[in-house]
Amino acid sequence: MFHICGRMTGRADDVFVARSLPDLKNATDDEIVKILAGKGYAQIFNLIDIRLTLGFLSVIVAAAAGGYDYYVGFEKAKTYTAVGVSLYFLLNIALTIWIMYYEKGTIYQGSKDGKTISVLSTTKKYTPIYDLKMTETTTSQSTHAKKPFTEFFDNNGYIVRKPLEEWIDGIITSVVQDGGAPAMISKDGRKKHK
């Protein structure tokens, strides 16, 4: 209930309590998006927009088929309904393929000072480790790093920004070689990712 209230008010400091592995991953993903926004990265929404377009297109198809069937009656609308249903499932299969093979866990894409980074995150079932891969798309330089969730979530399930941000800083520096990242990089951040 808590996190819905947080989302509805739209406050930046959502009080989100993570209670499961998907929760942990999603909370971390969201926090990273905010961290990168804070560092002045301009988010690129292409992947998200394609997903939204495919999705809403299929919703429109369903609504159109349903509406036409409602107004004209089942018998007259039969062929169009059949076409509509097939198109709907084709679009949704396309959407699923898109998510599985193209997005592949991309949670963020953004650019700053001419450098574009792409961030992928994955978690394995029942394993509380956050697996992050950041790629700089022009140089194809990428860093793959893992960290257990315990290092940036507190006992009550709240995310703690500081250790996460320090980790991300280190990864950004390794990927964007000549200083797209801020000057403050802690030793912890550097040591932990290899």
Partner 1 sequence: MLPQFSGAQLRQSLTQALNFCLVLTTAFMFWKGLSVVTDSPSPIVVVLSGSMEPAFQRGDILFLWNREARVKVGDIVVYNVKGRDIPIVHRVVRNHVSSKNQLLLTKGDNNAMDDVDLYAHKQYYLDRQNEVIGAVKGYVPWVGYVTILLSENLWAKYALLAGMGFLAMVQRD
Give the residues lining the site for partner 1 (CB under 8 A).
3-4, 10, 12, 22-23, 26, 33-34, 37-38, 40, 42-43, 45, 48-49, 51-52, 55-56, 58-59, 62-63, 65-66, 69, 73-75, 78, 81-82, 84-85, 88-89, 92
Q: Are 148 and 128 in contact (CB under 8 A)?
A: yes
Tell me how far, at minimum, the Cβ of 191 lies from partner 1, in Å.
30
Q: Which of 114, 115, 98, 122 is nearest to 46 (CA)?
A: 98
Shorter beta-carbon distance to partner 1: residue 72 or 188 = 72
- Helix (H, G, I), strand (E, B), or coil: what is residue 104? coil
* Beta carbon nearer to partner 1, 16 or 174: 16
Residue 6 CB, shortest distance to partner 1, in Å, is 12
Nearer to partner 1, 23 or 131 (CB): 23
Please give the helix or strand (H or E) that residue 157 lies within, else none: none
Supply angle C-alpha 139, 143, 145, rounded to 5: 170
Minimum CB separation of residue 190 from partner 1 in Å reads: 27
- Characterize the bridge pairing of strands 129-136 and 141-148: antiparallel
